[in-house]
Structure 1
């Protein structure tokens, strides 16, 4: 039986911790209502300096019964633990003793408070509840009614500066509903109260203090704070662009038995010159060729003329002459193998090779 009870208690605590862990502060408006008990502290009211109460006393001591208190507040949550609110509250407590005798006609004190509060919620403690602390300042209206003693009558009200300190905790029932328990200490500056003493009107002064315990319920209307934008890592720098491959071999074709550069051949030579400049190349080899028509001696000379014609055009296109080497190979090194004496257009050429 004991083990079962421990298991149930453990489950309840686990659910409580899980509920608080899942809770997060919202951003937006809320309202809070509270009801509880007030415990006013005994007061010592003092009359004017030129006035002496009966029995040679210059002050009156008053004590109170436990009373009831309530409050209603509306505020705003900022999503970072802080919230601010405006509060209206009231309390009522009976007097149970006044100097100079009992209270044949009773008597009670009522308060009405109008406070501006600032509070901070501790969401990150990992507890089953969410603690908070805060404070407020504002106006405190204190009203005394029906106080009658054999020596004096007290009736009146006074509006003075008031303040409160708050400490408490809330349990998140749902994401937007929290049940709480608050302790609030409320105090005031000097307040005045009208008295009738021995048939004469007088004004007494005292400070009001009270301890208060509230059971609260807070309804939130906000939304969870926006999640921070994900940090996107900068993409790695793109690798440097590869320089385009420079064309290194060109074929310039010639008419039969000619060494003159044709229009088509001039375009090919211009491309070769551009490649030399783009690739910062300094060694250009030009080799002249012929077909197999004619003698070897004749074709050797013709191939050299063709190589020289291509060099001249390269120089004209901006390639330094000192970087160009030429050679003629006649009718050897055929592009298209043929028998001797065959006119093959692809064999009548000059080959440009860049290094």
Structure 2
């Protein structure tokens, strides 16, 4: 199967995932897991053979050179990651690749041919990588492109790789060893969120992975099984091209909320009533929770859909601290909400940002009481 045909097949398989996505994917925030599999192409790989007093096959004290060609193989990967809520993700990944050796050539000396028969064995690559991704945000699109890069450590295993020299002696080259080396990769992908399951996303990826040159023990074996010579093989740097389909699940993605129901004004000429969105905060905190970001996103969307002309952002605090401290805390909360609105396309010039400290509680309490409903920011659209 050619690389072009495999890429086309993977694209067709990803179409159902796109059909299930409706509103795009919000930024990944917090813990997520991912996994996938697909086809792997390990490019032709040069081999440099060094023996004892003689070089492999040609009987001369020089280095021999050959090459192996592999069939299309497969790849699988699983990862554990963390999204920072701004499009950046970091993860730890374990991967496995396997390709069967298909052709073997080279290692010829003067007057020698380089044909091999009875070729067998597999090349396996497995290890751990650390990856960093960036998810591009295109609101309204059903697909989310992303790019990534990674580095780590990959073990290369030649499992029973064997090829027999065609000719008079019919000696065989045998490589059966493992070596680990530094590895790197580049990734480009498309994510298709599944709206029916918040946090669940199908992915289609292309990956390029390379490893530094491994050194592997090998030997030359006679037809009767006895060893003629032992030495080492230095393989070229690996070049892997992979196409993968996968799934990703983010544990902390916001659940869908019911859209606000617009009420018809009894008189057409009267202005629409103001809309108020409440954003709550944890005790003594001014950072936004996942639920808070979702509420702010709803408010930002309503600004464009309702013809809002004035946006009021008012911060509040409970009575557990001093009035002066609560005044500053409520302003920090108001600024956090205003910054998130601005990030979602609402200009700060359209906002009126105020802080009322503990002076306007939603629930009246005694001094020193921690009341969750008073730790809030009110977004009023007029």
Q: So what's the TM-score if we normalise by structure 2? A: 0.54
State the shift of 1:123 in Å. 1.8
Instruction: Name the structure 1 match of 2:287.
Output: none
Instruction: Name the structure 1 match of 2:233.
Output: 204
Instruction: Name the structure 1 match of 2:206.
Output: 183
Instruction: Name the structure 2 match of 1:79.
Output: 85
1:40 aligned to which of 30, 33, 42: 42
Q: 2:35 touches 2:248 (CA, 8 Å); kept in 1?
A: yes
Q: Alignment partner of 1:149: what SS?
A: strand
1:160 aligned to which of 181, 184, 190: 181
Q: Alignment partner of 2:86: what SS?
A: coil
Instruction: Name the structure 2 match of 1:308.
Output: none
2:218 aligned to which of 164, 184, 195: 195
Q: So what's the TM-score if we normalise by structure 1? A: 0.58
CA distance in 2, matches of 1:18, 1:32: 19
CA distance in 2, matches of 1:154, 1:103: 15
State the shift of 1:223 in Å. 3.4
2:33 aligned to which of 31, 50, 75: 31
Q: Alignment partner of 1:229: what SS?
A: helix
Deviation string, structure 1 residues 175-207 (Cα, Å, up to 9, x no partner): 311111111111011111111036211111122
2:253 aligned to which of 223, 237, 240: 223
**CA shift in 2, pair 1:42/1:125, >3 Å:** farther
**CA shift in 2, pair 1:18/1:159, >3 Å:** closer
1:122 aligned to which of 124, 131, 136: 136
Q: Alignment partner of 1:106: what SS?
A: strand
1:149 aligned to which of 141, 144, 163: 163
Unpaired runs of 5+ residues, structure 2, are 1-14, 106-113, 165-171, 222-227, 255-289, 294-335, 339-350, 356-382
Unpaired runs of 5+ residues, structure 1, are 1-12, 236-355
State the shift of 1:131 in Å. 0.6
CA distance in 2, matches of 1:96, 1:105: 7
CA distance in 2, matches of 1:111, 1:26: 30
**CA shift in 2, pair 1:82/1:65, >3 Å:** same
Q: 2:87 touches 2:134 (CA, 8 Å); kept in 1?
A: yes
CA distance in 2, matches of 1:61, 1:72: 31
Q: 2:104 touches 2:119 (CA, 8 Å); kept in 1?
A: no
Instruction: Name the structure 2 match of 1:281.
Output: none
State the shift of 1:48 in Å. 3.3
CA distance in 2, matches of 1:39, 1:127: 32
CA distance in 1, matches of 2:199, 2:30: 11
State the shift of 1:16 in Å. 5.5
Q: Indicate yes or no: 2:179 matched with 1:173.
A: no
Q: 1:101 touches 1:149 (CA, 8 Å); kept in 2?
A: no
Q: 2:142 touches 2:192 (CA, 8 Å); kept in 1?
A: yes
Instruction: Name the structure 2 match of 1:328.
Output: none
CA distance in 1, matches of 2:354, 2:37: 56
CA distance in 2, matches of 1:75, 1:141: 22
Q: Alignment partner of 2:192: what SS?
A: strand
CA distance in 2, matches of 1:51, 1:220: 58
Q: Indicate yes or no: 2:353 matched with 1:233.
A: yes
CA distance in 1, matches of 2:55, 2:30: 56
Which entry has the higher C-alpha Rg, 1 or 2?
1
Q: Alignment partner of 2:23: what SS?
A: helix
**CA shift in 2, pair 1:176/1:148, >3 Å:** same
2:127 aligned to which of 102, 108, 113: 113
State the shift of 1:232 in Å. 4.2
Deviation string, structure 1 residues 254-286 (Cα, Å, up to 9, x no partner): xxxxxxxxxxxxxxxxxxxxxxxxxxxxxxxxx
